[in-house]
Amino acid sequence: MVSYPFFATDHRNIKFVALNIGSRYLNIHQYNKLKLYALLPLIARQDDELKKQFDFSILNDRLQGIIKNNIVTLPGFELIDPGNKTVYAVAGKADFVILDFWFVGCLPCIEDHKKIMELLPYLKQKKTPLISISNDDSYEKWKDYLENHIYSWPQYKKPSTAENIISHLGISIYPTYILLDKDGRILYSTYFLDNVLKQLN
């Protein structure tokens, strides 16, 4: 995360500080919707200049995604598999499910995937499948990448439709990891693989 100086002297820096505070507040209270609702009127009152900022869009999209969604019903979302077929992900009889949202070219995502390959036996022991869902628009680029890497866990990409699981959840930062319980309820959301793994202990 970009760190902004707390003591700002000009109007633009003050706005950056406000965004940083809002982002920190969202991270702290991401599982308490009553506290998150307090951000909605504050966001609505911001001027157009601030709303055009990239960081504002990220903050607002994530807030809306968390507030609107408590449950992820995987069979309710179309996905594209490596064979370019439309499918629906199934978690099976799992205690938990980790959703890994990434894209080709995301270096932190790729580094995490190296760790995931080593963690698969542990996840199997925990009855927690991990499902990767790519935000790539290009099927060819995604498929070429998968052909050059050995990923032995489920891989899908978003479909070309405007409404998909990624837009539905308001995900705009990668990687993003979401931990679901066996009923699809969102238990935890983070940008860090280690953090989501700690929730399984």
Of 172, 174, 173, 193, nearest to 130 by C-alpha is 193
Of 120, 100, 112, nearest to 177 by C-alpha is 100
Rounded mean pLDDT, 58-70:
79
Residue 76 has pLDDT above 50, yes or no: yes
- Within 10 angstroms of residue 73's Cβ, the number of other Cβ atoms is 11
Weakest-pLDDT range from 9-18, 22-31, 146-155: 9-18
Distance CA 49, CA 47 (A): 6
74-198: CATH homologous superfamily? Glutaredoxin (3.40.30.10)
Confidence (pTM): 0.71
Task: Report pLDDT for 116.
Answer: 97
Distance CA 176, CA 58 (A): 13
Residues 102-145: tens digit of each pLDDT: 999 999 999 999 999 999 999 999 999 999 999 999 999 999 99
Q: How many Å is the maximal CA-CA distance in the chain?
A: 56
Q: Where are the domains positioned within the chain?
A: 11-68, 74-198
Residue 169 has pLDDT above 50, yes or no: yes
